[in-house]
């Protein structure tokens, strides 16, 4: 068992050190807006993580979509952006990423009166399962990359769910691994979540979209989206929550992600 873990660790070290293909680098520069705003050392770290991720995860095209290097690298880049500066096991529950050309229909169940369970369907652009699967709609990915400052990125959203699901069913409380975070996280997140519920009930304008009130798991996923996509606005609106996520992710997107600047790194 220990030798198995050792082999995995050594293989990952080897993959991270391999030269990054120039053609892949070009795709990152042209297709992943965040990449060009990272410091060179963070770009190198991200490239190493991407090589491990692509080696370990399976991509499958659905609905006639052909998986290309652009699709694989774009998804891997945003999934791995959340791993920078952290000890990581590369989304250990995740096996397969299913990519549809556009929104897909998913089965939905919800409790009805008494013990009745209501079955139905709904259209979605992303899903994260705790049984090894992430599902994404590629046209929604592209739309979010064309308008990268509007607070939406389905890749980040679904992989935030994966992070949340690493230690059990998604509940907004990921594996924190830090005593200070473990002490502060429940109070800060519960206060922010309850505040959102109160604001919506009273009809007050909210920073977070209403869907974040669906559950603590959705609140966490949307907060992570906003943290990486509109960090300056997030930090101004909810500084304590922003600082908590900054401590967890060990990076400060507000300090580097500014697509309004004329030049990136």
pLDDT digits (tens, 9 = 90+) for 107-166: 655 454 455 444 444 777 778 988 899 999 999 999 999 887 788 999 999 999 999 999
Tell me what the mean pLDDT of segment 87-113 comes to: 81
pLDDT band at 261 (very low <50, low <70, confident <90, very high): low
pTM: 0.91
Residue 14 or residue 262, greater confidence: 14
pLDDT band at 263 (very low <50, low <70, confident <90, very high): very low
| Spatial separation of the C-alpha atoms in residues 183 and 249, rounded to whole Å | 16
CATH of 2-256, one of 3.40.390.10, 3.20.20.70, 3.90.226.10, 3.40.350.10: 3.40.390.10
For residue 4, the model assigns a pLDDT of 66
pLDDT digits (tens, 9 = 90+) for 176-227: 988 899 999 999 999 999 999 999 999 999 999 999 999 999 999 999 999 9
Could you identify the residue written with the tokens 């907060």?
A: 223
Residue 131 or residue 244, greater confidence: 244
Question: Which region, left, alpha or beta, applies to residue 63 given φ > 0 means left and ψ of -120 to 50 means alpha?
Answer: left
Mean pLDDT of the chain: 90
For residue 164, the model assigns a pLDDT of 96
For residue 259, the model assigns a pLDDT of 82
Read off the tokens for 83.
């791993």
């Amino acid at each position: 068992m220990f030798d198995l873990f050792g082999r995995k660790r050594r293989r990952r070290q080897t993959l991270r050190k391999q030269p990054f293909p120039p053609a892949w680098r070009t795709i990152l520069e042209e297709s992943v807006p965040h990449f060009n705003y990272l410091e060179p050392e963070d770009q190198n770290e991200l490239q190493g993580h991407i090589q491990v991720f692509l080696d370990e995860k399976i991509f499958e095209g659905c609905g006639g979509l052909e998986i290309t290097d652009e699709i694989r690298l774009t998804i891997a880049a945003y999934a791995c952006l959340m791993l920078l500066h952290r000890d990581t096991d590369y989304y250990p529950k995740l096996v397969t990423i299913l990519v549809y050309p556009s929104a897909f229909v998913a089965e939905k169940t919800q409790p009805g009166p008494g013990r009745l369970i209501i079955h139905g369907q709904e259209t979605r652009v992303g899903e994260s399962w705790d049984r090894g699967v992430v599902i994404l709609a590629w046209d929604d990915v592209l739309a979010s990359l064309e308008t990268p400052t509007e607070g939406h990125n389905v890749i980040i959203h679904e992989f935030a769910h994966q992070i949340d699901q690493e230690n059990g069913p998604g509940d907004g409380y990921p594996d924190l691994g830090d005593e200070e975070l473990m002490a502060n996280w429940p109070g800060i997140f519960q206060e922010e979540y309850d505040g959102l519920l109160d604001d919506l009930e009273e009809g007050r304008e909210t920073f977070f979209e209403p869907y974040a009130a669906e559950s603590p798991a959705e609140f966490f996923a949307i907060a992570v989206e906003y943290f990486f996509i509109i960090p300056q606005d997030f930090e101004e609106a909810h500084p304590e929550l922003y600082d908590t996520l900054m401590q967890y992710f060990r990076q400060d997107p507000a300090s580097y992600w500014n697509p309004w600047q004329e030049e990136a790194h």
